[in-house]
Structure 1
Amino acid sequence: MNRQTGRLFYVMGPSGAGKDSFMRAVRERWGDRLLVAHRYITRAASAGGENHIELSDEEFRLRQSLGLFALSWEANGHHYALGCELERWLGSGVDVMVNGSRAYLPQAQARFGGRLVPIMISVAPEILGQRLRARGREGEDEIIRRLERAVAQDNGLPDSVWWLDNSGPLAETLRQFQSYQQGGD
């Protein structure tokens, strides 16, 4: 690697935008030079979605008290964390991608500074609504609330955010990411 320190690609976006699909595709395409880190979550691993380490509330609190998390937050009734192994990976010059939270972006920026590259996965509202309805996890009222939150999420983000439109084919989203990478060094 040319850099002394790796970059931390901090992926954000509304539920249903395709963050997990995007990150799986990144792992498949660039996994030889970019690590996709797992999160620690107090949610059953069998709940679907991302590959994560399931922890009980007690396990989470213990690991947090031992300083084993680089970042941690609470959302949607669960606790989320990124392990302190991120520091070692970044320190060895490896680029790392994580599934982050827009609400905790300031915490991530404070911790990782210039190494952090915020990425927002966006999707057209009508397509997001279709995706949320197709997965069948929420009722119509919750879907409407999620769509309203998705619009609000786009406001107030720093200029440094890499915006990736995931409304179309995933290959196009990967092309956008690659274009940013080539111009972002």
Structure 2
Amino acid sequence: MARAPLGSLVLVVGPSGVGKDTLISGARQALENDKRFSFVRRVVTRPSGSPGEEHDSIEPETFDQMEATGRFALSWEAHDLRYALPISVDTDVTLGKVVVANVSRHVVAEACAKYPSCSVVLITAEISRRAERLRTRGREDADQITARLARESAPVPAGVDPIIIDNSGSVAIGITAFVMALRAIAARE
């Protein structure tokens, strides 16, 4: 009996303010009728209703319990918060889906080791656009934004060859480029 091919995990990375969540949301809408794709909501120890990203909020104690009982596919810490992808990622990859997730660059090496068919999409944008987007998002004051822009330059791990999308222009152009990249990844499967 032939085994169904495994899907892949698409790790969307890039510094704050490049528009990762905007591109993911736009691609989710553009590909909503294409059953090859699954878009994952992160679990975050940030209060619900935070502007700018769709996520499932949980308390740190609950996060610890879920992590200890194997309910996450991947987990990491960034910006004094804890993040995770639900274990449903494993099911969707096994079912042959292209699973799209916004993650930290610090978890890329672990994800690539766990998921043999892993792709990385690195979203970039001019620093002035990033600063403007971070101000609009309203989560941080001017000093915090300056500090965030100064510290976020960690590259993807050595040996990872990301697909790079410059999202400095219009949202429509960024979403189109991202959707095209996702379709190219799905075609390889």
TM-score by length of 2: 0.86
Where 1:119 maps in the other structure, the secondary structure is strand
Taking the TM superposition and a 5 Å limit, the aligned residue runs for 1:23-62 are 23-33=24-34, 34-62=37-65
| Cα deviation code 1:125-148 (max 9, x no counterpart) | 121122223333323332222222
Task: Give the match for residue 111 of structure 2.
Answer: 108
Residues 157 and 174 from structure 1, CA distance in 2 versus in 1: closer, same or farther, beyond 3 angstroms?
farther
Taking the TM superposition and a 5 Å limit, the aligned residue runs for 1:77-96 are 77-96=80-99
Name structure 2 gaps, 5 residues minimum: none
Deviates more, 1:66-75 or 1:128-137: 128-137
Taking the aligned partners of 2:146 and 2:115, their CA distance within structure 1 comes to 34
Residue 175 (str. 1) matches residue 176 (str. 2): yes
Name structure 1 gaps, 5 residues minimum: none
Taking the aligned partners of 2:179 and 2:43, their CA distance within structure 1 comes to 28
Task: Give the match for residue 131 of structure 1.
Answer: 133
Taking the aligned partners of 1:85 and 1:55, their CA distance within structure 2 comes to 17
Task: Give the match for residue 163 of structure 2.
Answer: 162
Residue 21 (str. 1) matches residue 27 (str. 2): no
2:123 to 103, 121, 124: 121
1:76 to 76, 79, 90: 79
Residues 9 and 56 from structure 1, CA distance in 2 versus in 1: closer, same or farther, beyond 3 angstroms?
same
Taking the aligned partners of 2:13 and 2:169, their CA distance within structure 1 comes to 18
Q: CA deviation at 1:183?
A: 4.8
Taking the aligned partners of 1:102 and 1:92, their CA distance within structure 2 comes to 26
Q: CA deviation at 1:156?
A: 5.4
Query: When the two structures are aligned, how many residues end up with a matched partner?
Result: 181
The runs of at least 4 aligned residues of structure 1 exceeding 4 Å deviation read 154-159, 181-184
Instruction: Pick the structure with more helix per residue.
Output: 1
Q: CA deviation at 1:46?
A: 1.5
Taking the aligned partners of 1:6 and 1:155, their CA distance within structure 2 comes to 22
Taking the aligned partners of 1:11 and 1:58, their CA distance within structure 2 comes to 27
Taking the aligned partners of 1:56 and 1:155, their CA distance within structure 2 comes to 29
CA-based RMSD: 1.9
Taking the aligned partners of 2:182 and 2:50, their CA distance within structure 1 comes to 32
Task: Give the match for residue 12 of structure 2.
Answer: 11
Q: CA deviation at 1:38?
A: 0.7
Residues 51 and 139 from structure 1, CA distance in 2 versus in 1: closer, same or farther, beyond 3 angstroms?
closer
Residues 60 and 156 from structure 1, CA distance in 2 versus in 1: closer, same or farther, beyond 3 angstroms?
closer
Residue type of the partner of 2:15?
A: P
Where 1:45 maps in the other structure, the secondary structure is coil
